[in-house]
Amino acid sequence: MQEKWGIGNFGQPIDLPIFLFIYLSAMESPSKLRQPHLLISSEKIDRRTFLQKSALSLSGVSLLGSLPFSSQAEDLNDYPFTLGVASGEPLPDGIVLWTRLAPKPLEGGGLKDQEIEVYWEIASDPEFSDIVQHGTELATKDFAHSVHVEVAGLSPSSYYYYRFKTGEVVSQTGKTKTAPALGSDLAELKFAIASCQNYSAGLYTAYDHMVKEDLDVVFFLGDYIYEKASGANALRKHLPDKEIRSLEDYRIRYAQYKSDPSLMAAHAAFPWIVVPDDHEVKNNWGGDGPPYDDNASFLQRRSVAFQAYYEHMPLRKTSIPEGIAMRVYRKFSFGNLAEFSMLDTRQFRTDFACSGNWEENCAARFDPGRTMLGEVQENWLTENLSQSACTWNILGQQVRMAQVGRKMDGTIKYAADSWDGYAATRNRLMSSIKDNQVKNLVVLTGDSHKNWVNELRLNPDDPQSEVIGTEFMGTSISSAGDGKEFSDIGLELMEINPDIKFYNEQRGYVVLVAKPDELRADFKVMPFVTLPDAPIHTIASFIIANGIAGLSPSNRDTATTVAQALV
Ligand SMILES: [Fe+2]
């Protein structure tokens, strides 16, 4: 088996066009995925780039001797680490390490009922000369032979390298980083937000750029997969090519997405903190079901969708689904600089107000009996925020929080799926932030496949009302295809809703840098995703000053000018 992917296999440089040919061919032919050496680009790589790309690298190969043998299953005749490695859930002393054994990833995994021991090790150096911890974890069919290792006892603010082994086969090497010590002074936290990676709509070029960033952590804010069949003009056909409903379907769809080398490299380069949105289950679902689905069958579907989500994400065991429930709202702290409350705006919401689409200002939006977060999560959130001692209080969540009216059919309408459909919950949240004097509220959002900067007011209908915080909405990685820089819709939205400070419809991600005195957001976009090799550039940057809600006064006028020039 080792001969198939020994060091000699990537000793010869491969030109980028050849790499792309092989890459796209591999998407067509699952069998090529079993030869991961073929997927390595040999662009002029320095050590750092090599390590980042080495989600597909074979850095463990030369060190096989340092790893003990573990039991090898009969079915492991092919390379089992086809879906790469990942880490997540960074704590000051711990991290989750993830992989899944799947020699035939697009055929359900390729393993039968065996329980397979997977050896793992984590080191302070990429050569694994200083292994700080190691152990074994059992991969079972119950979790599609995925492995979630919860490593504890690590040092804060430290880089680590990790890998897995089963039989004689060693996985790719991943790099990760722990959080700073609780309450410690932190000069800077650099992170990215990403969301919405429809595999059939575009390439994951954004991740090729992201791995070159020097990030402490990546936040993925939902729509990791899409549940539908691929459309007639799909760039890459979905597998299975139908709307997925069963556990087997969801597993194959995740495997297909995670087979993408760019996504694999991004997972191997940084720890990720993930939350799901709607498409991990079904478009626009909420609570017990989407408004147009059969309730009983939907709940069954939701339970298998949650199961597959857990299996493929670097989550803690506290997120293992129990029936139709999965706990994904949780808190992360990075020293005394930033606290992230990750929200679940799907599972506990009451059914849509009005018809569930863009609607006129119907009374149900303001019904205090309706909820976006559910009572338990809402109380948890307000308590987190009121007790936080961190400079930046950040929410990571799925759907737009800012009020956005849109002129349709001669009247102003609001999206029932966003926080506009749950305005009573939003009003309560804004009031509690004001009453508890919560510092520096920043909301990070996915979902819309567009870049937005929105200021959040106590009363969004009153322009004199106090600004409570700022929402940065990141665009999609690939969903909705190429997108565009200029949009008449953007201009119209900004005229109707003056709290929108920026709007753009291209693909990419947002890099944020939090410091004690300011938080900066750089919106990075690409001109296309339906062809390979798109360049990336920062289309606009925004700054929030510590202690001043909303965009920095020195930045606001410029921001508005930039944004209006773009629409
Ligand atoms: Fe999406």
Cα of 296 vs centre of ligand 1, distance in Å, is 25
Cα of 73 vs centre of ligand 1, distance in Å, is 38
pLDDT value of residue 107: 95
Pull the structure tokens for residue 388.
């936080």
pLDDT digits (tens, 9 = 90+) for 400-447: 999 999 998 889 999 999 999 999 999 999 999 999 999 999 999 999
Cα of 548 vs centre of ligand 1, distance in Å, is 31
Cα of 307 vs centre of ligand 1, distance in Å, is 20
Instruction: Using pLDDT thresholds of 50, 70 and 90, give the confidence band for residue 222.
Output: very high
For residue 229, pLDDT over 90 is answered with yes
Cα of 276 vs centre of ligand 1, distance in Å, is 10
| Mean pLDDT confidence for 526-532 | 98
Cα angle vertex 136, ends 131, 140, to 5°?
145
pTM above 0.85, yes or no: yes
Cα of 547 vs centre of ligand 1, distance in Å, is 33
Q: How far apart are CA 274 and CA 303, in angstroms?
A: 18
Cα of 370 vs centre of ligand 1, distance in Å, is 24
Cα of 424 vs centre of ligand 1, distance in Å, is 24
| Mean pLDDT confidence for 196-220 | 98
Cα of 124 vs centre of ligand 1, distance in Å, is 37
Cα of 432 vs centre of ligand 1, distance in Å, is 29
Q: Are 247 and 303 in contact (CB under 8 A)?
A: no
pLDDT value of residue 30: 32
Q: How far apart are CA 467 and CA 189, in angstroms?
A: 24
Cα of 202 vs centre of ligand 1, distance in Å, is 13
Cα of 224 vs centre of ligand 1, distance in Å, is 8
Cα of 277 vs centre of ligand 1, distance in Å, is 8
Classify residue 71 as exposed, middle or buried by CB count within 10 Å of its CB (0-12, 13-18, 19+).
middle
Cα of 21 vs centre of ligand 1, distance in Å, is 28
Cα of 143 vs centre of ligand 1, distance in Å, is 26
Cα of 212 vs centre of ligand 1, distance in Å, is 24
Cα of 476 vs centre of ligand 1, distance in Å, is 7
Cα of 188 vs centre of ligand 1, distance in Å, is 30
| Mean pLDDT confidence for 444-453 | 96
Instruction: Using pLDDT thresholds of 50, 70 and 90, give the confidence band for residue 4.
Output: very low
Cα of 195 vs centre of ligand 1, distance in Å, is 7
| Mean pLDDT confidence for 157-166 | 98
**Pick from 28, 63, 51, 55: nearest CA to 39:** 55
Backbone phi, then psi, for 94, in 5-degree steps?
A: -155, 170
Q: Is 436 helix (H, G, I), strand (E, B) or coil?
A: coil
Mean pLDDT for the chain overall: 86
Q: How far apart are CA 476 and CA 206, in angstroms?
A: 9
For residue 47, pLDDT over 80 is answered with no
Name the residues around ion ligand 1, CB cutoff 5 A. 196, 223, 479
pLDDT digits (tens, 9 = 90+) for 474-527: 999 999 999 998 888 888 999 999 999 999 999 999 999 999 999 999 999 999
Cα of 25 vs centre of ligand 1, distance in Å, is 26
| Mean pLDDT confidence for 455-465 | 96
More confident of the two residues 313 and 61? 313
Cα of 223 vs centre of ligand 1, distance in Å, is 5
Q: Are 425 and 365 in contact (CB under 8 A)?
A: no
Q: Are 456 and 399 in contact (CB under 8 A)?
A: no
Helix residue spans in 191-294 (DSSP H):
205-210, 247-258, 261-269
Q: How far apart are CA 257 and CA 235, in angstroms?
A: 13
pLDDT value of residue 557: 55
Cα of 449 vs centre of ligand 1, distance in Å, is 6
Q: Are 263 and 207 in contact (CB under 8 A)?
A: yes
pLDDT value of residue 230: 92
| Mean pLDDT confidence for 230-236 | 91
pLDDT value of residue 25: 35
Cα of 3 vs centre of ligand 1, distance in Å, is 41
Cα of 221 vs centre of ligand 1, distance in Å, is 10
More confident of the two residues 159 and 292? 159
Cα of 386 vs centre of ligand 1, distance in Å, is 31
| Mean pLDDT confidence for 3-14 | 26
pLDDT value of residue 488: 84
Cα of 429 vs centre of ligand 1, distance in Å, is 25
Cα of 169 vs centre of ligand 1, distance in Å, is 36
pLDDT value of residue 56: 35
Cα of 498 vs centre of ligand 1, distance in Å, is 25
Cα of 190 vs centre of ligand 1, distance in Å, is 24
pLDDT value of residue 552: 78
Cα of 501 vs centre of ligand 1, distance in Å, is 22
| Mean pLDDT confidence for 171-200 | 98
For residue 260, pLDDT over 90 is answered with yes
Cα of 74 vs centre of ligand 1, distance in Å, is 40
Q: How far apart are CA 370 and CA 423, in angstroms?
A: 9
Question: What contacts 4, CB < 8 A, 6 or more positions away?
Answer: 34, 35, 37, 79
pLDDT digits (tens, 9 = 90+) for 329-374: 999 999 999 999 999 999 999 988 876 677 777 888 899 999 999 9
Q: How far is CA 273 from the centre of its chain?
A: 7
pLDDT value of residue 554: 63
pLDDT digits (tens, 9 = 90+) for 88-142: 999 999 999 999 999 999 999 999 898 999 999 999 999 999 999 999 999 999 9
Q: How many residues does the chain have?
A: 567
